[in-house]
């Protein structure tokens, strides 16, 4: 049986080998009802039978029988107050797939069979499932894969804002939001001249992990403009500053 002039492939069937012992035979690679044929030389003897491949053209592309899976989402934590761009990693994602995270997400793009990008909308605090739905109806779920958290906010106030050298000052701090009820015991508040570096501090105190509190102190004897700064975890990056305090003679 001769190969098809369009595809160079053989139709299905059993056939006797040619009398010439040096012939070509096509060995099939089965894919469902079709075969993609790879031609190679084979030496066969007279009277032997060879299996010929089915006519098919190109090897077919079919969806994965396993369906999609979701391995992880990056980032896995986001704010309750605003949208956040995410990357969903897995396999078996098909063009046109949709994503839900306790509701629809936006800007879904199937970059490849293993990557989807999307934008998660604002949502109340808590964990949500990440679900990918392929157009063929199959889906995958990453249970509790993404967690919405309330972003921390730090505030500092000081009273009075105009004081004589050596006078009494009261500083009040509050921390809201976040996942932990306590801050680091090494969070600290320092008094700085306006414009000074965070490493150039004067009076200071640890918050001891409290999310709110007051600090009463005597104003320094040097007149000028000062401010208080909140610096987490014994570091030197401030996250909040008080209004300016003017110390006069």
- How many whole angstroms separate alpha carbon 198 and alpha carbon 192? 8
Closest CA to 247 of 186, 167, 173: 167
Among 45, 62, 79, the domain boundary falls at 62
End of a domain among 62, 80, 112?
62
Beta-carbon contacts of 122 under 8 Å, excluding residues fewer than 6 positions away, are 79, 80, 81, 82, 83
Each residue's pLDDT tens digit, 65-98: 688 999 999 999 888 888 999 999 999 999 999 9
- DSSP single-letter state for residue 101: S
Does one domain contain both 161 and 244? yes
Query: What is the per-residue pLDDT for 10?
Result: 33
- The CATH number given to whatever domain includes residue 89 is 2.60.40.10
CB 132 within 8 Å of CB 70: yes
pLDDT digits (tens, 9 = 90+) for 28-62: 333 333 333 333 333 334 333 333 333 344 344 34
Range of the domain at 214: 153-248
Residues facing 51 on adjacent strands: 14
CATH classification at residue 174:
2.60.40.2840
CA angle 180, 184, 187 (to 5 degrees): 130
The answer to whether the beta carbons of residues 150 and 181 sit under 8 Å apart is no
**One domain, residues 116 and 135:** yes
Domain identity same for 142 and 169:
no
Residue 109 predicted with pLDDT over 90: yes
Q: Is the pLDDT of residue 155 over 70?
A: yes
């Amino acid at each position: 049986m001769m190969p098809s002039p369009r595809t160079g492939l053989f139709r299905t069937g059993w056939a006797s080998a040619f009398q010439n012992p040096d012939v070509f035979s096509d060995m099939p690679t089965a894919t469902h009802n079709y075969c993609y044929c790879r031609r190679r030389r084979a030496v066969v003897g007279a009277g032997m039978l060879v299996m010929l491949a089915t006519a098919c053209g190109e090897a077919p592309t079919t969806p994965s029988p396993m369906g999609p899976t979701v391995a992880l989402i990056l980032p896995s934590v986001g704010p309750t107050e605003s949208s956040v761009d995410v990357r969903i990693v897995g396999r078996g994602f098909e063009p046109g797939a949709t994503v839900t995270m306790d509701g629809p997400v936006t800007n879904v793009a199937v970059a490849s069979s293993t990557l989807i990008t999307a934008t998660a909308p604002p949502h109340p605090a808590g964990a949500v499932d990440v679900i990918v739905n392929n157009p063929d109806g199959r889906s995958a779920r990453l249970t509790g894969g993404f967690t919405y958290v309330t972003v921390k906010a730090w505030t500092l106030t000081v009273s009075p804002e105009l004081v004589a050298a050596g006078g009494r000052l009261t500083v009040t701090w509050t921390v809201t939001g976040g996942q932990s009820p306590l801050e680091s015991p090494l969070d600290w508040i320092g008094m700085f001249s306006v414009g000074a570096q965070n490493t150039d501090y004067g009076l200071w105190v640890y918050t001891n992990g409290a999310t709110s509190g007051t600090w009463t102190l005597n104003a320094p004897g040097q007149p000028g403009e000062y401010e208080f700064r909140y610096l987490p975890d014994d570091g030197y990056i401030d996250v909040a500053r008080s209004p300016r305090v003017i110390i006069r003679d």
